[in-house]
Structures are given as structure tokens and as C-alpha cells.
Amino acid sequence: MEKTLAKGLTLLETLARLGHPVGVTEAAKAVGLQKSNAHRLLRSLSELGYVRQIADTGRYELTLKLWEMGSRVIARLDIATEATPTMRKLAALTRETVHLSLLEGDDVVYVHKIDSPHPVRAYSAIGGRAPAHCVATGKALLAFQPPDAVDVSKVRKPFTDATITDPLDLRRELERIRKQGHAVNKGEWREGVFGVAAPILDASGRAVAAIGLSGPQDRFRPKAMKAWTPLVMAAARDLSRA
Amino acid sequence: MEKTLAKGLTLLETLARLGHPVGVTEAAKAVGLQKSNAHRLLRSLSELGYVRQIADTGRYELTLKLWEMGSRVIARLDIATEATPTMRKLAALTRETVHLSLLEGDDVVYVHKIDSPHPVRAYSAIGGRAPAHCVATGKALLAFQPPDAVDVSKVRKPFTDATITDPLDLRRELERIRKQGHAVNKGEWREGVFGVAAPILDASGRAVAAIGLSGPQDRFRPKAMKAWTPLVMAAARDLSRA
DNA sequence: GCCGGCCGTTCCACGATACGGAACAGCCAT
DNA sequence: ATGGCTGTTCCGTATCGTGGAACGGCCGGC
């Protein structure tokens, strides 16, 4: 493993995570490096265009280069922009937060969202992650993966009392999702946060993304969920042609 | 300059630019590395979570990690999401492509856009760049930078016959933009592509971003521009409070 | 069915390269 | 003036990355 590369990338990650300009000393401490080492890396990153030094304070901050590269990554699967109108429609009909998620390892990554107009709503960020086995979009994605792509028997971490941890339960849940065509989450990730989601399929029937609603339990009562489910499924179907 | 870091990042850039999975040999050729070197870098990047190897073909592709980091970068200046409603309104009123740009060095970077519904429209990509001195949003940004932050006398490259290259002309142009509060581009970057833009200011009067319209010359006739300019300026003013 | 060429992968001795402690210069508040 | 902070520079040393050559598997053409 190339040590220098690892250090440099960790430094970039740290800068991105902190989200504000940092000095050499602070950066070194945050990443666990020698001050001179951090300094050298920052200078190199600056030369490579990933980082810039603020003239008066001497601190370093990220340029937009990382973001540009990131944009290219998603442009490839330009689902995000393509899905916007459909998501917007779904948001207007339900007045709940709409998410578009991709599967990345054992997590879902939120690639796009439209926030609910309600003042009380679950927090989430574009680019954020959640364990796939305990959110609606994640379960929808897992259920429609190619056979053997999902290791059901792997041990899953619980996050609330409702989290599915038993392999057999998960297998049954995924089967039910396949049969019904949609997934439901009743506070399995965050206490009191519910959701409904459906998979977006490619021509071969594999899920490439999932679209879903989520919000506080009091607004996700059985009656509301029943009304929304066909809307979510219709939106997913709408995006599934490709 | 840390060689390993530079190589690794160049490799990531290349993967992002190509936008499709690449094999070790191909990657090595594209970046100008030894095959074994490229292989080692790809393995490390994979271990660090930036890259994944596709099981059956053996090729490597980017994960979403870069994109996640990139999202954090603009989340910081979360203008993009905040500006969406205003941009949408402007797009609806004018039926032209709306851009939101930031200044990055001598370039503008498009951080958000809403495409014109017209079939004929200028091409641009989110995350894309253009030289600041010859697009409308760029000139709006330059005009409202702190004094001495812009080196007017630096030599600028021409791209069309209309590009401003004379330092004195540029200085006058920026002064006019400051006075009028908006900038205009008449094919100074791409032949036949016009635009109008206005700066988004922070409390101190510095431009942190710019919003603008752009499209083909035939739709950007004087009369239309005159009608749109106040709309663009109103949108920019709307986003300027913070 | 064999063979040639391509692929991704591994190995290892050499030598360039990154490391990190210590010292420097500038700034600010005490 | 002084002490403690900052970002920065230097340099000998050992570590770490390097790249050529070789391996095994896969595929397509003869």
C-alpha cells in the first residue's frame, strides 16, 4: 500500500469532512501526521490544484477540483438529473422528502433528494450514507440485485429495536419486497423515521437505484403509506425504462 | 512534490475523465505509467475505497467516494440547493438555460444549471469550466471581487473575435458592469453564444457567485436581453441576502 | 486443439524518495 | 520584550516506491 497516496487522500477526506479552512498544525493533528509531513502534502496538493492556501491566514482549503471530479462520476450514471422531474412530482403529491439512492457496498448513498416542505423532517444530506439493510431504498435495492450478489447471512448491525438482524428474517423480507415490488422501513435505522421505496430497474431486472419517501412516524401512518405506495412504485417504474 | 500522490491523483482524474471502467494496461498507458506501477496504485486506491475492481472483467472503476467528498465541498457553500427555486423561476420566465457559477482562479465553474426547454441550446455541464473573462457570469464575478484580487493586466487568451484581450478594455468593461450591476457576453467564449448575468453578493458586497442566462444569439436579441436583464438581476438580488 | 498474444498479477534488488526532528521567521497577545 | 503560537525550511537517513522480468489464465485465430 502506497503510504504517501494514502496520507494525501486521507488529508483530502479530512479537509472535506471538516468543511472549513485548516492550518498546517491543525491538519497534521487531525490526520495524525508530523507537521512537516502535513505541510509537504498540502503544498503538493496545492500544486496539483486540489487545495489552495488562503493568502492572509495561511490556512488551506479545498478548491472545487474534487467536486468537479465527483460530478463526472455521477454524470456517468446521470440518473440524478434524469430523475429530477419525477422526484419533484412525487414530492408535490406527498409533501414528504424524496430520496434517490444508489447501492455502494453495504450502504446506500443518497445521490439526490427533494426535501419535504414540512418543518419537521428527517435529516439527510446528498452524498450521505445509510446501511442498506435498514432503510427502505436500501432494502429495495438489495431485493433486486442479481442472485448471490447479496450475502444475506452476513451479520448486520442493529441500530434500533426494529432493525432486522436475523439472516432468515432478512431473506424473508427481501422475498416479500420482490413479490410486492416495494420496501418499507419502520424505524429500523433511526427511531421514529419511516419510509417507503421502490427499485429502479434496468432492462435485465436488476435494480440500479431506488426512489423513496421518508419522514416522521406520525405522518407515515398505515393509511398514508397505503396511499403513497402506488405513487412511489409508479415513479420508480417511470424511471425504470432506459 | 510527492510523486506517488501526484500519480495516484492523476490516475483518479483519468478514471473520472474517461468515465468507464479501465484495465490496468489501459490505465497505465493513459497516465503514462509502468504497468506494475499502475497496478499497485489501483490496488491501493481500491483498498482506500476510491476504486473497485469489477469481478468478471478485472477492470477498475471509480466508486462513489470521490463524489461523496465532492458533495461535501459544495455543501459548505450550499448555494446550489438554496438557489434552486430562484433558478427554476428564472428558467420558467425566460425559457433559457440558467447557470449558477463560482469563481475558481481565472475560470468559472458551473455548480448548477437548469437547461432550456428549447431543443437548440448551448452545451455545458455541471462541474464544467470556462474562462472567467469571456462569459457573463465570469465577468460579473470578476467585477465584484475585492480590489486588487483581479489582475486586470494579465494577458487573456482570445477564443473568438469578440473576446476581450486588451487590459484597458477589460478594466472598462468591469467598471461598466459594476455601474450597471450586470454583465453581458456576446459570443466572447463560443461563437454565437450570448449571455446575461448578475453577481450574488455577500454582506460585504463581494461576489460569491453569479447567476446568468445563456443561449444562441438568435434568441438573445437586444429586445429579449433588455427584458431579461431585470429578471436576472432580481434573481441575483434575491440570492444575495445571507 | 493448439498456439500466440493479450490480460491482470507477482516478485525483488536497487535507488530514488519521503520522512521527521530540529531550527527558522513571522505574528499576536500577553 | 517575551513566550507561544503559526507556517516554513533544511537535510541525513531509512524507508518506501520503482520497474523490468516472469507467471498463469483467458481468449481468438489459425
Backbone angles phi, psi at A181, to 5 degrees: 85, 5
List strands edge to edge, sheet with B193-201.
B129-131, B107-114, B97-104, B207-216, B193-201, B183-186
pLDDT tens digit sequence for A121-141: 767 788 888 999 999 999 999
In this complex, which residue's CA is closest to the C1' atom of nucleotide C19?
A37
With respect to residue B204, please indicate whether it lies within any of the assigned structural domains. yes
Residue A42 predicted with pLDDT over 90? yes
CATH number at residue B100: 3.30.450.40
In this complex, which residue's CA is closest to the C1' atom of nucleotide C7?
B25
Looking at residue A76, its pLDDT comes to 65
Round to whole Å and give the CA distance between B80 and B88: 12
Looking at residue B87, its pLDDT comes to 94
Cβ separation of A74 and B67 shorter than 8 Å? yes
B71 sits in which H/E element: helix B65-76
Domain C-terminal end among A67, A89, A114: A67
- The DSSP 8-state label assigned to residue B146 in this structure reads P
With respect to residue A73, please indicate whether it lies within any of the assigned structural domains. no
With respect to residue A215, please indicate whether it lies within any of the assigned structural domains. yes
pLDDT tens digit sequence for B24-77: 998 998 888 888 899 999 999 999 999 999 887 888 999 999 998 988 888 666
Q: Cell numbers at residue A215, please?
A: 419522514
Residues A95, A203, single domain; the answer is yes
Residue A242 predicted with pLDDT over 60? no
Residues B51, B121, single domain; the answer is no
Residue B178 predicted with pLDDT over 70? yes
Contact positions of strand C to protein Cβ (< 7 A): 6-11, 17-22
Q: Name the residue with higher pLDDT: B204 or B49.
A: B49
Residues B106, B26, single domain; the answer is no
Round to whole Å and give the CA distance between B68 and A167: 30
pLDDT band for position B224 (50/70/90)?
A: very high
Looking at residue B241, its pLDDT comes to 66
- CA-based nearest distance B223→chain A, Å: 31
Residues B41, B94, single domain; the answer is no
Question: For the residues B169-191, what does the mean pLDDT come to?
Answer: 95
Residues B99, B210, single domain; the answer is yes
Mean pLDDT of chain A: 90
Residue with cell 427554476: B88
* Cβ of residue A92 closer than 8 Å to a chain B Cβ: no
Mean pLDDT of chain B: 90
pLDDT band for position A154 (50/70/90)?
A: confident
Q: Name the residue with higher pLDDT: B224 or B116.
A: B224
CATH number at residue B20: 1.10.10.10
Residues B101, B188, single domain; the answer is yes
Count the domains in chain A. 2
* Cβ of residue B242 closer than 8 Å to a chain A Cβ: no
Backbone angles phi, psi at A195, to 5 degrees: -165, 160
Cβ separation of A75 and B126 shorter than 8 Å? yes
Residues A56, A174, single domain; the answer is no
pLDDT band for position A241 (50/70/90)?
A: low
pLDDT tens digit sequence for B127-166: 888 999 999 999 999 999 887 778 888 878 899 999 999 9
Residue B206 predicted with pLDDT over 60? yes
Looking at residue B76, its pLDDT comes to 65
Domain C-terminal end among B20, B36, B67: B67
Strand C neighbors by CB, 7 A: A 3-4, 7, 33-37, 40-41; B 1-5, 23-26, 35-36, 39-40, 42-43, 53, 58-59
**Domain residues for A63?**
3-67
Round to whole Å and give the CA distance between B56 and A30: 39
Residues B52, B91, single domain; the answer is no
Residues B118, B185, single domain; the answer is yes
Cβ separation of B73 and A50 shorter than 8 Å? no
Give how far Cα B9 sits from Cα of A62, A126, A237, B41, B68, Å.
Answer: 14, 24, 38, 10, 16
- The DSSP 8-state label assigned to residue B73 in this structure reads H
Residues B60, B125, single domain; the answer is no
